[in-house]
Amino acid sequence: MAQQATDGVGGTVGAFNFIRRVGFPSTPEVLSVFLTLALVSSTLALPLAGVGLQTALLFPLIAVVIPTIVGEALNSTMFLHGDRVLSFRRLIGLEILSWFLLLVALPLGAIAGMAASNTAFWADGFFAVLALSLPIRFLTIASISSVSPWKKFVASALPPILSIRSFSIIAPSAGLTNVDSDLIIRGTAAVLVGIVISAAGVS
C-alpha cells in the first residue's frame, strides 16, 4: 500500500492521527486553564517586585492572554484555516504548553531580583519564557500543518509578536516603572533572533 504523502515532517503521520483522535478539553476549559496559568504566575511574582495587585492582575491579561487569544483566533480563521488538527482550542492548548514555564520563571525572577536589588528581573523571566517557547511553536506547526510555509511562519510568530507589542505598551502605561525601554529592546531582540533561528531550524 502506498504511503500517504504529507507536507509535514516525515515519520510523524501516526502521531498526528493519534492527536486527531484523542479526546481534547472544550474551548472554555482550555481558555480557563490558560487564564489561570497567566494570572497565578503574575500574582505570585509581581507583588514580590513591588508591583501593586491591580497591575499584577492587569499585566497577564494585556501582555499574555489577550494578544495570545487574538493571535490564535487569527491563525485558526486565516493562516491555519481548514487545518484538520490545529483548531483554535488545540492552538490554545499549544499556548498552555508554551507559557507553562511562566509559573516558575516569573516568581524565580522576582525572588532573584529581590536578592540582587533588581526589581525588573521578573521581566527577564517573561522574555526568557517567550524565547524558549519559540522552538515548540515552530516545530509543532511546521510538523502538523499542511499549509504553505509562509503561513506556517506567520502562525508560529504571530502570538509572540503580539505579546511583545502589548508588553511594550502596558509597561509604561500600567505603572511598571521598573521596566525600562532598554530591557524591552533587549528582550524583543532576543525573541526576534529566536524566531529567525526557529524558522531556520524547521525550514
DSSP for 148-202, please give it: -HHHHHHHHHHHHHHHHHHHHHHHHHTT-TTS-HHHHHHHHHHHHHHHHHHHHHH
Looking at residue 173, its pLDDT comes to 66
pLDDT at 117: 85
3-class SS at 22? coil
Measured between alpha carbons, how far is 180 from 136 in angstroms, rounded to an integer? 29
Q: What is d(CA 35, CA 104) in angstroms, rounded to the nearest whole number?
A: 16
Low-confidence ranges of the chain (pLDDT < 50): 1-12
Count of positions (residues) in the chain:
203
pLDDT at res. 133: 94
- Cα dihedral sign for 45, 51, 52, 58? negative
pLDDT at residue 2, as a whole number: 44
Residue 52 three-state SS: coil
pLDDT computed for residue 9 by the predictor: 47
Quote the pLDDT of residue 181: 75
pLDDT reported for residue 55: 85
DSSP, collapsed to helix, strand or coil, labels residue 56 as: helix
What's residue 202's pLDDT? Answer: 86
